[in-house]
């Protein structure tokens, strides 16, 4: 660089500094923003319901696997998955190996104003060849005999353990359904169940034919809370029993359920905006 060039360059820089206010430029505070940041959306409250517990082991596998333990492991995985994204609060209807009555589970979700209720189970069948996951929502009329029998089995937990009478069950299902349809909870629950079926299908999980079924499940009767019950497989089937105890498979199920919850809320928000 020639001396002349250097002089011209320096003169140019000095002029620029003078134009910009020199050193003052570096100390100029950033202009204050008057606009308030948009409030963060309230995290959705997801209520997870690991079925059975305590004296009620639920279904038993041929190798001795207990439904209550398998569903608790997967509920814990799902809880971690949901919390990791920072978008949800998560509560469990039971966090230990303890017996909690079905109506108490419903009452807890309702009292906490849960945005979603997901009950996790594993099924059993006299035919050891029957396998695959299935998803259930509440209905007065069961879609088929198997769904009706399953609901009766799952509802028995209360009567078996705590001696509660189920005489008023049908009545309470009917009353809940009226309240639910007034509040749009029926459609939201069905949408949730269909989303889970689609996500499970995409992830290559084996599914029961007509995967989304309906029946009178006592645990799905919180009128304000969209709810589904997932049977994650059959402990009476040797392959399903093995899979349900494999950590990697438990994590895959939890991730697919988290993706379902994400998709459910995303679709709900899109519908409200439209």
Name the residues that contact Zn ion, by CB under 5 A.
Answer: 51, 58, 121
Q: Are strands 88-92 and 44-50 parallel, antiparallel or unpaired?
A: parallel
Smallest gap, in angstroms, from Cβ of residue 96 to Zn ion?
A: 17
Comparing every residue's Cβ against Zn ion, the nearest one is 121
Residue with smaller CB distance to Zn ion, 208 or 259: 208
Backbone phi, psi, residue 231, to 5°: -95, 115
Those residues whose C-beta lies under 8 Å from the C-beta of residue 130, and which sit 6 or more positions away, are 208, 234, 236, 237
Q: Are strands 133-138 and 88-92 parallel, antiparallel or unpaired?
A: unpaired
Query: What is the Cα–Cα distance from 10 to 248, expressed in whole angstroms?
Result: 66
Residue with smaller CB distance to Zn ion, 51 or 61: 51
Smallest gap, in angstroms, from Cβ of residue 51 to Zn ion?
A: 4
Structure-token match 């509920």, residue found = 75
**Is the separation of the CB atoms in 75 and 92 below 8 Å?**
yes
Dihedral, CA of residue 146, residue 110, residue 254 and residue 161, to nearest 10: -50
Smallest gap, in angstroms, from Cβ of residue 72 to Zn ion?
A: 12
Smallest gap, in angstroms, from Cβ of residue 44 to Zn ion?
A: 25
**Is the separation of the CB atoms in 70 and 123 below 8 Å?**
no
Smallest gap, in angstroms, from Cβ of residue 247 to Zn ion?
A: 21
Residue with smaller CB distance to Zn ion, 152 or 207: 152
Smallest gap, in angstroms, from Cβ of residue 52 to Zn ion?
A: 6
Those residues whose C-beta lies under 8 Å from the C-beta of residue 137, and which sit 6 or more positions away, are 186, 189, 190, 192, 193, 212, 214, 220, 227, 228, 229
Residue with smaller CB distance to Zn ion, 51 or 223: 51
Nearest CA-CA partner of 217 in 126, 121, 133:
121
Q: Give the helix/strand (H/E) hosting 154.
A: helix 145-162
Smallest gap, in angstroms, from Cβ of residue 146 to Zn ion?
A: 14
Residue with smaller CB distance to Zn ion, 53 or 58: 58
Residue with smaller CB distance to Zn ion, 51 or 216: 51
Locate the DSSP E strands across the chain: 44-50, 88-92, 116-123, 133-138, 207-215, 227-234
Residue with smaller CB distance to Zn ion, 15 or 54: 54
């Amino acid at each position: 660089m020639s001396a002349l060039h250097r002089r011209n360059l320096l003169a140019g820089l000095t002029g620029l500094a003078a134009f910009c206010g020199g050193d003052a430029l570096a100390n100029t505070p950033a202009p204050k923003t008057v606009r308030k940041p948009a409030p963060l959306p309230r995290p959705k409250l997801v209520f997870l319901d690991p079925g059975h517990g305590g004296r009620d082991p639920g279904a038993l596998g041929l190798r001795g696997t207990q439904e209550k333990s398998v569903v608790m492991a997967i509920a814990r995985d799902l809880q971690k998955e949901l919390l990791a994204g920072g978008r949800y609060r998560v509560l469990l209807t039971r966090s230990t190996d303890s017996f909690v009555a079905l109506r108490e589970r419903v009452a807890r979700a309702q009292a906490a104003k849960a945005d979603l209720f997901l009950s996790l189970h594993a099924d059993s069948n006299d035919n050891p060849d029957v396998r695959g996951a299935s998803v259930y929502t509440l209905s007065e009329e069961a879609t088929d005999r198997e769904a009706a029998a399953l609901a009766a089995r799952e509802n028995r937990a209360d009567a078996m353990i705590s001696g509660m009478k189920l005489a008023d069950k049908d009545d309470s299902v009917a009353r809940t359904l009226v309240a639910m349809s007034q509040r749009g909870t029926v459609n939201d629950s069905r949408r949730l169940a269909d989303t889970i079926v689609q996500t499970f299908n995409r992830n290559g999980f084996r599914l029961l034919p007509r995967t989304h079924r309906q029946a009178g499940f006592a645990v799905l009767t919180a009128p304000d809370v969209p709810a589904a019950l997932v049977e994650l497989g059959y402990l009476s089937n040797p392959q399903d029993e093995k899979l349900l105890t494999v950590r990697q498979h438990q994590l895959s199920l939890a991730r697919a359920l988290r993706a379902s919850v994400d998709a459910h809320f995303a679709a709900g928000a899109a519908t409200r905006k439209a």
